[in-house]
Amino acid sequence: MSNKFLQLKRSNCKNCYKCIRNCPVKSIKFADGQANIISDECILCGRCFVNCPQDAKQIRNDVGLVKELIASGKPVIASVAPSFIAEFPLYDFESMKAALKQLGFADAEETAIGATLVKTEYEKMIADGKHDVIVSSCCHTVNALIQKYYPSVLPYLAPVLSPMLAHCKLIKDQHPDAATVFIGPCISKKEEAEIYGYTDVVLTYEELEEWMNEKEIVPRGASTEDAGVKRARFFPSKGGIIRSMTTDNTPFTYLAVDGVANCIAAFKEIETGKLKNCFIEMNACEGACVSGPGISHHHQPVLTGEVKVAHFAGSGDFEIPEKIEMAKNMPYIGTHSVIPGENVIKDILAKMGKTTKEQELNCGSCGYPSCREKAIAVYQGKADLSMCLPYLKEKAETFSGYVINTTPNAIFVLDEDLCVQQINNAGLKLFNLKSEADIISSPIVRLLDPTEYLNIMSSTLPMKKVKHYLAEYKVYVDETIVYDKAYHIVFSIMRDITEEEKSESERAEMINKTAEITDKVVEKQMRIVQEIASLLGETTAETKIALTQLKDTLQK
């Protein structure tokens, strides 16, 4: 099943497996030479999108939906994530609001308002003393990771709306006829909006910037906001949720974990039950939201963005005009993957040429961290045997080696110093060598006159054919010499044509003998003809005389 939020540009996918290597849950199926995202396993972290070197992954563009909402006449209010300050050349929110109004938005507010509601709920959970461990629920990717892969951690996941949902819910409570659009750096928010409602459309910063470029709108801001700074604006930076909370005089330890791999490691530690009185802020993106996949500089260092967020935030809280229901139900979802038995895994490993532990290189070139995980993926239909590069290399080398060593033609490879680098079995036989060691790394002059090889290296022609007699080895050869400048090698293919030459010589001799015999026969036949002609001439003359005499006698 394809993913409707992250899509594949088929023409760009080049089988590099980089998306699989970077996918923390391996929710990518490789088939027909294409990498396809498996929707029910994907957590929408965006790592495949960020790391694809061919730009083969694309985020669903929802700008058209926002334009339709604006065109409908309904007031459309934007909820803008505080990480906007790291993305745009701005220093305050008013500049962003002005730019959004130019696009047709009725109004724009900071999602940090919703963040204030969320952090207040976290503070209440800590204060009620009913929880040993609390995992923040702001990151939908982290939530999906727990719901699909770590159900044992679900009891620790705070059942609280994310800042996006809380803010959009508040907007709709205040403006029942309004549509809400969240603007931020995250792909997974698109899914969260569809699952839980409150947010009608989600745009990434890249989508917003493309739209602004289309309308030739350039958001600018030259002055720093001096008053009214709010600490909920820390949310997009690592540890930002904790920095926005009141943590003094509480029995809890506050920890910040970023990156899916680190979150998974934290889940495994939580599962042991050894952690007590811990609030754990979790972000799927390393560097938190300022490194989100929907931010245009996601592949660049994030320190500049963090500095801008720090300057934009500060002390104090947003004033919340009313209370809203903040509960969020996050049930177990799971996946449909089936894990094969040990015998099946061993059979698949054997097909990859891995029959012993030593042969399991676990090189990761296929995108999976171990050969066993790759074998499981093959069983699940997510991978195929050809994705194992060492296996393919060994297979190709075995096949090419078999072909080279079984051909009756002598083949040898020289470097540009005309030293032998490789020679096949037919070559060893031709030159009466016992093994490769007798000639490898030695100059070819030990076996042959190097003149032809020197000539082709100085020639503009890449290939040359030569027929000559190797007197020392008493063989005639038809030789093809190729010079590969890119790889700096000269290689020769010699076909033994001694028997052909002998046959040709015997044929020529037979033709000469036949010609001699023919000449003699012709000569003899001509002589006989001449003799017959002479006899016929004499007989004719005698007959003429006799008949003349007979005639005369009769007349008398």
Domain residue spans of the chain = 1-60, 73-312, 338-405, 407-496
End-to-end CA distance of the chain: 132
Tens-place pLDDT, residues 21-62: 788 888 888 776 677 788 888 888 888 887 777 777 778 889
What average pLDDT does the chain have?
82
What does the alpha-carbon distance between residue 254 and residue 275 come to, in Å, rounded to a whole number?
12
* Type of residue numbered 331: P
338-405, CATH topology level: 3-methyladenine DNA Glycosylase II; Chain A, domain 3 (1.10.15)
Residue 75 has pLDDT above 90, yes or no: yes
Dihedral sign from CA coordinates of 398, 402, 405, 411: negative
For 348, counting Cβ atoms within 10 Å of its Cβ (0-12 exposed, 13-18 middle, 19+ buried), the class is buried
Closest C-alpha to 420, from 440, 449, 395: 440
Model confidence pTM above 0.75: no
Residue 226 has pLDDT above 60, yes or no: no
Tens-place pLDDT, residues 117-143: 998 899 999 988 888 899 998 899 999
Find which of 79-88, 219-228, 311-320, 526-535 is predicted with most confidence, using mean pLDDT: 79-88
DSSP string across 117-186:
HHHHHHHHHHHTT--SEEE----HHHHHHHHHH-GGGGGGB--B--HHHHHHHHHHHH-TT-EEEEEES-
Residue 100 has pLDDT above 70, yes or no: yes
Beta-carbon contacts of residue 495 (< 8 Å; ≥ 6 apart): 408, 409, 410, 477, 478, 479
- Pick 1-60's CATH classification: 1.10.238.10, 3.50.50.60, 3.40.50.970, 3.30.70.20: 3.30.70.20
Task: Provide the pLDDT confidence category of residue 506 given band limits of 50, 70 and 90.
Answer: confident
Dihedral sign from CA coordinates of 366, 369, 371, 372: negative
Tens-place pLDDT, residues 291-334: 888 776 555 556 777 777 777 777 777 777 667 888 888 888 87
**CA-to-CA dists, residue 380 to 21, 129, 348, 501, angstroms:** 17, 44, 11, 60
Residue 551 has pLDDT above 80, yes or no: no
407-496, CATH topology level: Beta-Lactamase (3.30.450)
Beta-carbon contacts of residue 362 (< 8 Å; ≥ 6 apart): 369, 370, 371
Residue 1 has pLDDT above 50, yes or no: no
Task: Say if CB 314 and CB 231 are below 8 A apart.
Answer: yes
Residue 534 has pLDDT above 80, yes or no: no
Name the least confident of 386-390, 414-418, 450-454: 386-390
Q: Which residue has the higher pLDDT, 363 or 499?
A: 499
